Structure 1
Amino acid sequence: MASTERRAALPRLYATHREGLHRLVRFGITGVANTLVNYLTYRLFLLVVNYQVANLVAWAVAVTFSFFMNARFTFRTRPTWSKFVRYPATSLVNLLFTSVGSLIAVNLFHADQRYITLIMGILAIPATYALTKFILKDPPGDLPDAAGATETPDPAPHPERPAPRP
């Protein structure tokens, strides 16, 4: 009996938390894409500047990319200037991990400059989810979508999406 109850509980649990689980998966996909953008930008700039400057440039490029991916893809909300201005706060954890962590790892432990920001960036990902969710959430009163998540409606219909229903 207990085994049957446990099997029945899993679909109920999934149904209850489906949107949150999907959002976590989208956040993971965005995190991987953002890490690639950051790392490729870092490696490109490492050819012409020192590793700390390359890291800061890569961070700025990655924050901009991450903002739009997280707003549109992960949290399905409209990007606004207000959110964009606040969004870099979500990446301060990443910046601290990659900058300070890289500095310590390179200078004290002789870590390889080519890979250290990638490692530090991966270590920072879990902490950024809660901050990102807080910054990108829409204010109370926005219209809920069909799944119950709030989404600010676009002023103009998106070419790949039907216009929001009234």
Structure 2
Amino acid sequence: MNKHSKQMEVLLYLVFGGLTTLVNIVTYYVAANLIGMDYKLATTIAWLVAVLFAFFTNKAYVFKSEQSAWKELFPFMGARLLSYFLDIGTMIVLVDLIHVDDLISKIAANVLVVLFNYVASKYFIFNDQTVEKEEQANDRVQ
């Protein structure tokens, strides 16, 4: 990948990561503040909505992956499950232990989550080299 392509990928990831974060925070706000859900349940629902949005935008626009969605969905969900624990853990620490406002806590948690998700997506999920190596290994076995 050339330097321009890498820069474009990072830029697109930041744009769609920002949109995913917005989806997450707006969904959280609606669930927690307008509907009145507990912040943990609201965080869980916001995470699920944001993960689905992120999967399709990352696949189509950021990493332009041509692999089967089913082949990438489960690793993506697995990595995002780890980011969910980072998200909910950060929320619990900030809201329950330090007593920071829940919406400010949600924004802070999302900064950590975006960084984690980029690394996971770039190097483990939408990594064509990983898929090519697996296919080469399968060809050698057959």
TM-score where L is the length of structure 2: 0.81
Percent pairwise identity: 24
- Give, in whole Å, the separation in 1 of the partners of 2:121 and 2:71: 14
Q: Which residue of 2 aligns with 1:75?
A: 63
The answer to whether structure 1 residue 65 and structure 2 residue 57 are counterparts is no
1:119 is matched by which residue type in structure 2?
A
Q: Which residue of 2 aligns with 1:110?
A: 99
**CA–CA separation in structure 2 for the residues paired with 1:82 and 1:16:** 26
Deviations 1:89-133 (A, max 9, x none): 232343122201110111121110122112111122222212102
CA distance in 2, matches of 1:16, 1:26: 15
| Greater relative CO (CA pairs within 8 A, separation 6+) | 2
Matched, 1:140 2:132: yes
- Residue ranges of structure 2 left out of the alignment (5+ in a row): 134-142
CA–CA distance in 2 between the matches of 1:82 and 1:102? 31
Structure 2 CA distance for partners of 1:86 and 1:16, relative to 1, 3 Å: closer
2:21 matches 1:35: yes
Map 1:1-166 → 2, pairs under 5 A = 16-46=2-32, 47-78=35-66, 80-133=69-122, 134-138=124-128, 139-140=131-132
What's the CA shift string for 1:7-61, capped at 9, x where partnerless?
xxxxxxxx94111111111111111000000001111111231000000010011
Letter of the 1:135 counterpart: I
Return 5+ residue gaps in structure 1 as ranges.
1-14, 142-166
Deviant stretches of 4+, over 3 Å: none
Question: TM-score if structure 1 supplies the norm length?
Answer: 0.70
Q: Give how far 1:82 is off.
A: 1.9
Q: CA 1:16/1:135 → structure 2, altered by over 3 Å: closer, same or farther? A: closer
Return the alpha-carbon distance in structure 1 between the equivalents of residues 82 and 3 of structure 2: 27
**Which protein is richer in helix relative to its size?**
2
Structure with bigger gyration radius: 1
